[in-house]
Amino acid sequence: MADLSANPTKSHDWLAAPLLVLALALVPPVSIALGDPFLVKVATRIVVFAIVAVALDLVVGFGGLVSLCHAGLFGIGGYVVAILAYHDFNAEPFGLGALTFAGTSNLAVTLPLGALVAGAIAPVVGAISLRTSGPYFIMITLAFNQMFYYAAVALQKYGGEDGLQIMSTITLGPLDVSNRYRFFYVALAGLALTLLVITRMSASRFGIVLRAAAANETRIVAVGVAPWLYRLVAFTISGIFAGMAGALLAASQQFISPVDMAWDRSGDFVVMAVLGGIATVWGPVLGAAAFIVLELVLSSWTQHWHLAFGLMILLVVIFLRGGLADLRHILKPRTAGGAHG
Amino acid sequence: MAEPILQVTTLMKRFGGLIATNDLSMTVERGETHAIIGPNGAGKTTFVSQLQGLLTPDSGSVVLDGRDITFEPAHKRAHLGIARSFQIASLVPEFTVLAHAALAVQSRAGHSFRFWKKAWQDQSLLEPAREAVAAVGLDSRMHSLASDLSHGERRQLELAIALAQRPTLLLLDEPMAGMGRQDGARMTQLLASLKRQYSIILIEHDMDAVFKLADRISVLVAGHIIKTGTPDEIRNDADVRAAYLGH
Amino acid sequence: MTAALFTEQLLNGVQFGVMLFLIASGLTLVFGIMNFINLAHGSLYMAGAFAAAVTQRLTGSFLAAILVGMLVAALVGVVLEQVVLRRFYGRNHLDQVLATFGLILIMNEGTRILFGPTPLRMNLPDALSGSIEIVPGVPYPVFRLVILGVGLAVAGALYVIIMKTRMGMWVRAGASNRAIASAMGVNVPLVFAGLFAVGAAFAGLAGIMAGPILSVQVGMGEPILILALVVTVIGGIGSIRGAFVAALLVGIVDTFGRVLLTPALGSMAIFMLMAAILAFRPKGLFAVHG
């Protein structure tokens, strides 16, 4: 078996993602044992944000594109769930032009739908943003995020700036998943799926092209590949998972608001991915966990925790280049050059 | 007589007020190694970039194997048979030597919208890649990261990638740049072994290599080819001496 | 729509546009020359506004408020550049985005600590607080006319400097090809630092002018920054002329969009405009190319 990545420690990396999922799977029993439901609440938030961060990693880490609109796509997924639940609760059909649909609180319908709607909007954003080079991409995605935010605020019927509460009981097919502990495993399954898909993609021919194009576009063009469509597809797939995560968030907190999709939330997602380490697929899971835990801890110390947070981000960018995932090299030092096989 | 593999006709390229390519015409015969020499700033790299497709000429035409490719984008030309190696090695630091060659093989195989199978366990990619790496003598460094290669090894890798593309026309932009005598001699030998299998355009300053390898030489001065001929003809040409060789 | 309303909204649009231009001009040059994406530019807008509001409160003088506000904004800009941003010039855009994102958090929270979460009010001096009839039957606030005047004056001055002076030539050279400008002996770091300070002062001025109209509060910089980024993208990175044309376009489209369309569509109008323009001119209207 020829593993063409010369770094020998890479061959053990495949363990990291399953281990993380396993560790997270233990949270509910621990939470019950300690009699503290708050633990599961936090863990759910971590899992949901981790999905976005991992999906974002495909675009940022492997594609080399800094997207600042993932919170927008995330929010779109959330609003799909919340809006359909609203129509279900009020027994009011949802009208889209000439068509009307019944509302529903069934995640088996609204979860894929949220992912699909985000997945349909993402390529439109991507097509416009990818027309030229990197810096434009960043600014244009940021602009689009702002547009989505304003659109959400303008939805007076669905709460506008105050957001939309989900009053009905969220189900998954026949199952009632409004129970916190049950829902956690639904979200965790989503994370596991995301990790699996993104991991396979990163090592596939598609992933290779994406990574090569990010590192050296001249080279990839010279051997005969035009990167544009690959980037667009990566961005779209990333958007699908972000939408899925948003749907999960709305279901878990029974609430969605424009705040969940503001531009600074997009920045947060990028921070999570980078903090965890964008060279691996699983690093962003650690990043999401670290981010949320830090947020909790700091905010309990001072109301001005944003200052410390901003400072931390600054210091991390200056000093900790590889993110938290680089810590694994402490366990197994990387040998330079890596003569392998 | 067979059609030339490459026919360049009255190529012109301006950058604002600067004329980089000035009414340039030349042909390359099949299986020929055609060297292009000229003083610095003559526009050699600009010319190669127009052949490869990174730049589009303002006027004139480039015909490859009877097909007009003047406005074809670079990535398409790679599939039409052109492979270019860069003067400054253009590599992916985190990929190994083998991975670079595999990338070229992968591109040749068609589109890369395959999302599940691991690319680097695919023997249909690795076999041809290994061959290309071996052909340039880089087997011992097969699994080394590009960032760990010496200068000479990088130039070898550039060539390996080009070969992995299974081209009909090789565009070699100063393959010996920055090489010491030993490395240079090795590269010359390597190129000599490739001579009949490919048509080659060789941009070089290393005159020993040029006179050893070239079937014909064109002299490029100020974006225009002032003379084309056999090595002996060029060596003894008074105009060429005046313009370039300096004595 | 009556002629009076049209005139009023047109003036509003142009006035908003020149304000956006003040911010976008700094952004586009910083980006075009140093390839540096600066999300913290909105914080300079905020800094100018706060410094001015506080100065006015302490001295009662609007003029002093403007001068101090611009000075403080320029100073904060220079300090930020020297202490933090300079480290990121060679680094990739991801690092720059993260660093300036962190700075936004620090600046916003720092401002909240210093001045509290309640918005500050800026009052207009009597001379500027009335309306005059610019066209019979169309009263228009004097202050907004002043903003328009100041903005156009600055735009004009900037145009003259960039197009007609040697320093301007260096700036344009740097914007279109950094390496060559540097090789030709232009002291790019110095030109850049100066540019940064001037851009910061302009952003601060825009904040001061917005203060009496929009109110001075923490986080006021970011929504405007995003609009300024849209202007930069539409105009073409590195082009002052592009920033000016795009700013006016954005200002007018936004203003009329809000008046003519539903609130939902109105707030989205500019982004639709951006998408439409990029569809035909991916590099913006007046792309400079580096």
List subunits contacting chain C, requiring 3 or more Cβ pairs under 8 Å: A
Average predicted confidence (pLDDT) for chain A: 89
Please tell me the predicted confidence (pLDDT) of residue A7.
44
Kindly report, residue by residue over C197-214, the tens digit of the pLDDT: 888 999 999 999 998 888
- C138 min Cα distance to partner chain A (Å): 31
Nearest-Cα residue of chain C relative to residue A265: C101
A275's tokens: 């903090």
Output the pLDDT for position C244.
93
Residues A258-271 have pLDDT tens digits of: 999 999 999 999 99
Answer yes or no: is A10 within a domain: no
Chain A residues in contact with B74 (beta carbon < 8 A): 221-222
Provide the pLDDT for residue A330.
Answer: 59
Say what the pLDDT of residue A12 is: 60
Domains identified in chain A, total number: 1
The 3-state DSSP class for residue C134 equals: strand
> Between C95, C97, C223, which is nearest A138 by CB?
C97
Q: Answer yes or no: do A307 and C109 touch at CB < 8 A.
A: yes
Q: Do B120 and A2 touch (CB under 8 A)?
A: yes
Which residues of chain B neighbour A221 with C-beta distances below 8 Å? 54, 74-75, 78
Give me the pLDDT at residue B206, please.
87
Which residues make Cβ contacts (< 8 Å) with residue B232, sequence separation at least 6?
Answer: none
Q: State the smallest CA–CA distance between residue A251 and chain C in angstroms.
A: 25
Q: For residue B236, how many other CB atoms are within 10 A of its CB?
A: 10
Spell out a b/e string for C199-219, using b for 16 or more CB atoms within 10 Å of the CB, else e: bbbbbbbbbbbbbbeeebbbb
Q: How far apart, in whole angstroms, are the C-alpha atoms of residue C264 and residue C249?
A: 20
Q: Are the Cβ atoms of A155 and C264 closer than 8 angstroms?
A: yes
pLDDT-derived band at B247 (thresholds 50, 70, 90) equals: very low
Residues of A in contact with C31 (CB under 8 A): 135
Collect all residues of chain A within an 8 Å Cβ-Cβ radius of residue C110.
307
Distances (CA, A) of B82 to A11, B12, B49, B52, B168: 36, 21, 11, 7, 6
Residues of C in contact with A142 (CB under 8 A): 226, 229
B17 burial (CB, 10 Å; 0-12 / 13-18 / 19+) is exposed
Residue type, C181: A
- Mutation choice for A interface testing from B54, B107, B141 by most A CBs within 10 A: B107
Q: Do A267 and C84 touch (CB under 8 A)?
A: no
* Rounded Cα gap, residues A179 and A324, in angstroms: 33
With beta carbons under 8 A apart, name residues in chain B contacting A209.
103, 106, 112
Tell me which residue in B54, B90, B115 faces A200 most closely, judged by beta carbons.
B115
Query: Residue A224: closest CA among chain B residues belongs to which residue?
Result: B75
| pLDDT tens profile C90-117 | 788 899 999 999 999 999 999 999 999 9
Mean pLDDT throughout B215-240?
91
Q: Does A226 sit within 8 Å of B116, measured CB to CB? A: no
pLDDT at residue A327, rounded to an integer = 64
CB contact under 8 A, A203 and B119: yes
Q: Is A335 on the interface with B (CB under 8 A)?
A: no
pLDDT attached to residue A305: 92
For chain B, give every residue range classified as CATH 3.40.50.300: 1-81+168-175+198-247
**What's the pLDDT at C178?**
63
> Is the pLDDT reported for residue A164 higher than 50?
yes
Query: From CA C80, how far away is CA B139, in angstroms rounded?
Result: 51
Q: What is the Rg, in whole angstroms, of the alpha carbon atoms belonging to chain A?
A: 20
Numbered residues of chain B with Cβ closer than 8 Å to any chain A Cβ: 52, 54, 73-76, 78-79, 83-84, 86, 90-96, 98-99, 102-104, 106-108, 112-122, 126, 143-145, 148, 161, 165
A216 touches chain B (CB under 8 A): yes
Cβ–Cβ under 8 Å, residues B132 and B190: no
The residue-averaged pLDDT of C214-222 equals: 91
Per-residue pLDDT tens digits for A267-309: 999 999 999 988 899 999 999 999 999 999 999 999 899 999 9
The pLDDT, as a whole number, for residue B181 is: 86
- B52, B112, B140, best to mutate vs chain A, most A CBs in 10 Å: B112
| Pairing label, strands B199-203, B33-37 | parallel
Q: Model's pTM, two decimal places?
A: 0.92
Least confident of C51-55, C193-197, C224-228: C193-197
- Asked if residue A8 belongs to a domain, the reply is no
Contacts of C108 in chain A (CB under 8 A): 306
Q: Nearest-CA neighbor of B218 among B206, B199, B204, B197?
A: B204
- Predicted pLDDT at B192: 93
Q: Say what the pLDDT of residue A323 is.
A: 66
- Write the pLDDT tens digit of every residue in A37-92: 899 999 999 999 999 999 999 999 999 999 999 999 999 999 999 999 999 898 88
C213 to chain A, minimum CA–CA distance in Å?
A: 21
pLDDT tens digits for C124-165? 887 778 888 877 777 888 888 888 898 899 888 888 887 788
CATH of residue A115 = 1.10.3470
Could you tell me the pLDDT band of residue C241, with boundaries at 50, 70 and 90? confident
Q: Is A190 a member of any domain? A: yes
**Do A201 and B78 make contact, defined as CB atoms within 8 angstroms?**
no
Which among B107, B119, B122 is the nearest to A223, CB-wise?
A: B107
Q: What is the 3-state secondary structure (H, E, C) of B103-160?
A: HHHHHHCCCCCCCCCCHHHCHHHHHHHHHHHHHCCCHHHCCCEHHHCCHHHHHHHHHH
A163 within domain boundaries: yes
Cβ contacts below 8 Å, chain A against chain B, sum to 125
Average pLDDT over residues A236-256: 97
Please give the biggest Cα pair distance in chain B. Answer: 62
Query: In CATH, which of 3.40.50.720, 3.20.20.70, 3.30.70.260, 3.40.50.300 is domain B1-81+168-175+198-247?
Result: 3.40.50.300
- Chains in touch with A (≥3 Cβ pairs < 8 A): B, C
* pLDDT > 90: percent of chain A: 70
- C136 — alpha (psi -120 to 50), left (phi > 0) or beta? beta
CB contact under 8 A, A314 and C93: no
Cβ separation of C222 and A263 shorter than 8 Å? yes
pLDDT band at C66 (very low <50, low <70, confident <90, very high): very high
B85-111 tens-digit pLDDT:
998 999 999 999 999 999 999 999 999
Is the pLDDT reported for residue B77 higher than 80? yes
Distance, in angstroms, between A33 CA and closest chain C CA? 38
Residue A95: per-residue pLDDT:
82
Angle at A165 between CA A163 and CA A171, to 5 degrees: 135
pLDDT band, residue B169 (cuts 50/70/90) = very high
List, for residues B8-52, the tens digit of each pLDDT value. 999 999 988 889 999 999 999 999 999 999 888 889 999 999 999
Q: What percent of chain B is predicted at pLDDT more than 90?
A: 78
Q: Which of A208, A228, A232, A335 to mutate to test the interface with B (most CBs of B within 10 A)?
A: A208
Mean pLDDT of chain C, nearest integer: 87
Contact A128 C35 (CB under 8 A): no
pLDDT category, A332, cuts 50, 70, 90? Answer: low
**Nearest C-alpha in A relative to C87:** A318
Residues of chain A contacting residue B106, judged by C-beta atoms under 8 Å apart: 205, 208-209
The reply to whether A7 falls in a domain is no
Domain-located, residue A258: yes
Region C257-266: mean pLDDT is 84
Which of chain A's residues have a Cβ under 8 Å away from the Cβ of B99?
4-5, 208
What is the model's pLDDT at position C15?
A: 92
d(CA B32, nearest CA chain A) in Å: 22
Instruction: Label residue A212 exposed, middle or buried (CB < 10 Å: 0-12, 13-18, 19+).
Output: buried
From the list A54, A23, A19, the residue with the least C-alpha distance to A191 is: A54
Which residue range(s) make up the domain with A126? Answer: 16-340
